[in-house]
Amino acid sequence: MADDPFENMLAQMDRAEEYADVDHGVFERLKHPERTLKVTLPVELDSGEVEVFEGYRCQFDSARGPFKGGIRYHPTVTQREVEALAGWMSWKTALVDLPYGGAKGGVICEPKDLTENDLEKLTRRYTEGIRRMIGPETDVPAPDMNTNSQTMAWLMDTYSMYEGYTVPKVVTGKPLELGGTPGRTAATGRGVSIVTERLFEYLERDLSEATVAIQGFGNVGSHAAKLLDESGARVVATSDVTGAAYDPEGLDVPTLAAHVEAGGLIEEYTDGTLRGASRDRTRWDEPDRIANEELLTLDVDVLIPAAVEGVITAENVDELRASAVVEAANGPTTVAADEVLTDRDIQVVPDILANAGGVIVSYLEWVQNSQEFSWPLETVNAELERRIGSAFDETIARYDEGDIPDLRTAAYTIALERTASAHEYRGLFP
Ligand code: NAD
């Protein structure tokens, strides 16, 4: 049960219902996705073989506006996972008060085994499969795990070919040359870094004294690491699928990020440069190698899961030594583990708040596309900070207000009330 992300999401909703001012009938409606499309995608690979892939697009709730949500390419994608992720998108857009609903897409594939050409064909075929469902005013995809601005460019091109004119607004996370916004690539990691800083202010603790472990060093994890490092925190451990690197004195984040950006894996990382006076380091040692599971239980101030779902579980939660968890990944904590974290007074900034920076800047991209105008990076980053900051403040205010047990439940009560209120104003069709 706990391993099923959809059940996990429902349990999080149930936990919040007690505290949310939501009619029970409306609440029950919020537990069901509006629709999910399953598509079969035969693709002729460069190897000459025809492989038949399977993909999904789930549109969860549109009471507050067009559907919005990323597309994930991963071998473990399932319909239930896509539906859970679409639900989380709905609560996320409501919590940060964007005029959107929630959606998600996924294709079951192992991108590492596909050539660039294979990925382009797969993306175009998937776009054809879901194109009747998406559109600039109906459902706007974006990148997620293993998809990026190039994937969005192929999606936009395919959709535009069918429409007969260029439709940049059908996706966000596009390359700058195609109507993307400055700041989108780093946005989720930037949001993670902002909420971590806000959490430390709230807890009246000094972030520059803090140690941080980050599971996953992809788009989100690496940008969060760079920004937290710049703000003075000590990033002591990070990982990818191949394993984790740990240095209690602090990793050399810029060098590690350059290694990964150049296509390197964490297990291959042997490089390093002196950190200089800023960290009082006088020598460079190659980081220790530890397992991904070990990273989760390191004695650090902040643990940031930034990879996949369900990594903090009933099995390992008692071993956790971090005093705060900032959920950069979607759904990294199972419900059983969540209850233990609350009992242990470990503050958790929930995913629907912590990783909302990506969808906020996606919204800013969409607004710029609507205006056929572009904003400078400073404007985008300032607006991101304002929006995620006020969602953080609202969540804290709700948490401090009453007997709500944790920040996730506080965030959910706000999101569910906003979505339910939209449903009530709109009424039940027909
Ligand atoms: P990514 O593909 O760029 O990076 C994922 C990282 O996690 C890689 O370093 C990968 O090696 C590592 N990883 C994968 N499986 C792992 C495992 N089992 N153990 C340890 N490490 C593992 O993906 P991303 O875009 O950085 O997304 C990471 C998480 O953040 C996902 O949960 C995603 O849904 C969430 N998220 C992403 C965005 C975004 O804008 N990209 C926005 C909101 C939420």
CA distance 322 to 107: 34
Of the candidates 30, 32, 38, 104, the one whose C-alpha atom is nearest the C-alpha of residue 67 is 104
277 alpha carbon – ligand 1 mean position (Å):
32
Q: Which residue has the tokens 């989108």?
A: 184
What ligand 1 atom has the least distance to the C-alpha of 351? 44
Task: Provide the pLDDT for residue 271.
Answer: 61
Q: How buried is residue 98: exposed, middle or buried, by Cβ count under 10 Å (0-12/13-18/19+)? A: buried
Q: In the annotation, is 104 catalytic?
A: yes
Q: What is the mean pLDDT of the chain?
A: 94
C-alpha of residue 215 to centroid of ligand 1, in Å: 9
> Could you give phi then psi for residue 261, rounded to 5 degrees?
-60, -30
Distance, CA of 384 to CA of 364 (rounded, Å): 9
Ligand 1: centre distance to CA 146 (Å): 8
3-state secondary structure of 208: helix
Best mutation site among 76, 188, 261, 351 for ligand 1 pocket (most ligand atoms within 8 Å of CB) = 188
Q: How far apart are CA 105 and CA 119, in angstroms?
A: 15
Pick the catalytic residue from 31, 38, 68, 104. Answer: 104
Read off the tokens for 215. Answer: 């599971």
Structure confidence at residue 195 (pLDDT): 98
Q: Which two tokens stand for residue 206?
A: 């000094």
Whether residue 8 contacts residue 334, with contact meaning beta carbons closer than 8 Å, is answered with yes
Helix (H, G, I), strand (E, B) or coil at 110: coil
Distance CA 252, CA 405 (A): 37
- Please report, as a single letter, which amino acid is at residue 255: T
pLDDT (0 to 100) of residue 288: 87
pLDDT given for residue 75 in this prediction: 97
d(CA 98, CA 384): 12
Q: Average of pLDDT values for 410-429?
A: 97
Residues of the chain above pLDDT 90, percent:
92
Residues comprising the chain, all counted: 430
- List residues near ligand 1 (CB under 6 A): 143-146, 188, 215-221, 239-241, 292, 306-308, 328-330, 355, 358
Residue 282 has pLDDT above 70, yes or no: no
In this structure, what token pair is assigned to residue 423? 């449903």
pLDDT value of position 285: 66
Tell me the sheet residues that pair with 290. Answer: 244
pLDDT digits (tens, 9 = 90+) for 369-412: 999 999 999 999 999 999 999 999 999 999 999 789 999 999 99
What are the Cα distances from residue 355, in Å, to 77, 164, 221, 302, 343?
A: 20, 35, 11, 15, 24
- Which distant-in-sequence residues (6+ apart) come within 8 Å of 49 by Cβ? none
Residue 279 has pLDDT above 60, yes or no: no
The yes-or-no verdict on residue 205 having pLDDT over 50 is yes
Distance CA 400, CA 353 (A): 17
Q: Which atom of ligand 1 is nearest to the CA of 260?
A: 9
DSSP 305: E
- Residue for token digits 């104003």? 425
Q: Sign (positive/negative) of CA torsion 72, 78, 79, 80?
A: negative
The pLDDT tens digits for 302-355 are 999 999 999 999 999 999 999 999 999 999 999 999 999 999 999 999 999 999
Residues 343-370 have pLDDT tens digits of 999 999 999 999 999 999 999 999 999 9
With 90 as the cut, is the pLDDT of residue 1 above it? no
CB 63 within 8 A of CB 422: yes
Atom of ligand 1 nearest to the CA of 356: 43
- Map residue 396 onto helix, strand or coil: helix
Q: Report the half-sphere exposure of 98 (CA within 13 A, side-chain side).
A: 33
